Amino acid sequence: MRPIYSSQSRSLVRTVSSVVLAAVLALTISKIVRADTPMTEAAYAADPAAMMNAYRHVEAASVSDAIEQLLHEKRYMSHHMQSIFPTKFAGPALTVTLVKEENHDPDSLSGMLKAIDSGGPGSVFVMTVQDGADIAGMGGLMGTAMLARNFSGAVIDGGVRDLPQLKKIGFPVYALGPVPSTSVGHYRFAGMNVPVVCDGVPVAPGDIIVADQDGVVVVPRDNAADVLVLAQKLDYSEHSMYPYIEKFHSIEEAVKRFGRL
């Protein structure tokens, strides 16, 4: 037998449901606003986790433009640095360098493996391989280890191999290209968390790496907050221009209005 509810009871249930739904929506919107609302340079500098999260949402092109405007420097890698699949990530650089040296030492690359096992969540593995365009600096085993340790991605100034495994696990890698070779017996570990030059760009340990389908940008850690705030403004201007151009059919007018190209 179905329970019989009075009109007052049904009205009360609807009222309570409406209040609960309104509260849930308000909380959700509040979280969205807090997540999407840019902070000041000082606030980002005081909250590195929030700053890193914001870098994961800003476009590499805007970061590159911000660096050029603020620092008057080229901090982006060339078109030679390619991703193995479309990706977007950001994180602090954990740097490693390998030097060319023929050897029979089973421990010649042990420092590289130790560097991976010491990396924290969100790190970006940045490795330079001396004259390494045709040498695989990393492959599936290293990528699997980085994924297990929650690295954000890897940038290799050298080659990469085992693409089927890396694509299978979804670990993002930028490199000079796929090659089947190995560094074992041909290279020696030469340093971890040392300044390196990756595809012509200086990278210091802890610098922020920003990568997406446009390429890879290196943000000097000391300027990270200032660069981020300007990059967010540039992002906002450009994204505002798309519908303006579509509506008024004029890129000239959009540039005049928003001052962005």
Determine the pLDDT at residue 17.
45
Q: Is residue 187 part of a domain?
A: yes
Q: Is residue 209 part of a domain?
A: yes
pLDDT of 197 over the 70 cut? yes
CB 62 within 8 A of CB 227: no
CB 187 within 8 A of CB 99: yes
Q: Give residue 115's domain range.
A: 76-219
How far is Cα 26 from Cα 175, in angstroms, rounded to an integer? 44
Q: Is residue 66 part of a domain?
A: no
pLDDT of 8 over the 50 cut? yes
Kindly report the number of other CB atoms within 10 A of residue 177's CB atom: 14
Q: Is residue 112 part of a domain?
A: yes
How far is Cα 223 from Cα 208, in angstroms, rounded to an integer? 10
DSSP state string for 155-173: EEESEE--HHHHHHHT--E
3-state class (DSSP) for residue 177: strand
**Number of structural domains in the chain:** 1
Q: Is residue 240 part of a domain?
A: no
Report the CATH number at residue 94.
3.50.30.40
How deeply is 191 buried, as exposed, middle or buried, from its count of CB atoms within 10 A (0-12, 13-18, 19+)?
middle
pLDDT of 228 over the 90 cut? yes
How far is Cα 34 from Cα 27, in angstroms, rounded to an integer? 11
CB 175 within 8 A of CB 158: yes
Residue 248's pLDDT band (boundaries 50, 70, 90)? confident
pLDDT of 34 over the 60 cut? no
Q: Is residue 155 part of a domain?
A: yes
Q: Is residue 231 part of a domain?
A: no
Residue 146 is given by DSSP the state: H
| Tens digit of each residue's pLDDT (9 = 90 or more) over 38-83 | 899 999 999 999 999 999 999 999 999 999 999 999 999 999 999 9
Determine the pLDDT at residue 176.
98
Determine the pLDDT at residue 192.
98
Residue 14's pLDDT band (boundaries 50, 70, 90)? low
How far is Cα 261 from Cα 259, in angstroms, rounded to an integer? 7
How far is Cα 103 from Cα 119, in angstroms, rounded to an integer? 27
Determine the pLDDT at residue 251.
77
Determine the pLDDT at residue 7.
52
Average pLDDT, the chain: 88
pLDDT of 253 over the 80 cut? no
Q: Whole-model pTM? A: 0.83
| Tens digit of each residue's pLDDT (9 = 90 or more) over 109-163 | 999 999 999 999 999 999 999 999 999 999 999 999 999 999 999 999 999 999 9
Determine the pLDDT at residue 36.
52
pLDDT of 164 over the 50 cut? yes
Q: Is residue 190 part of a domain?
A: yes
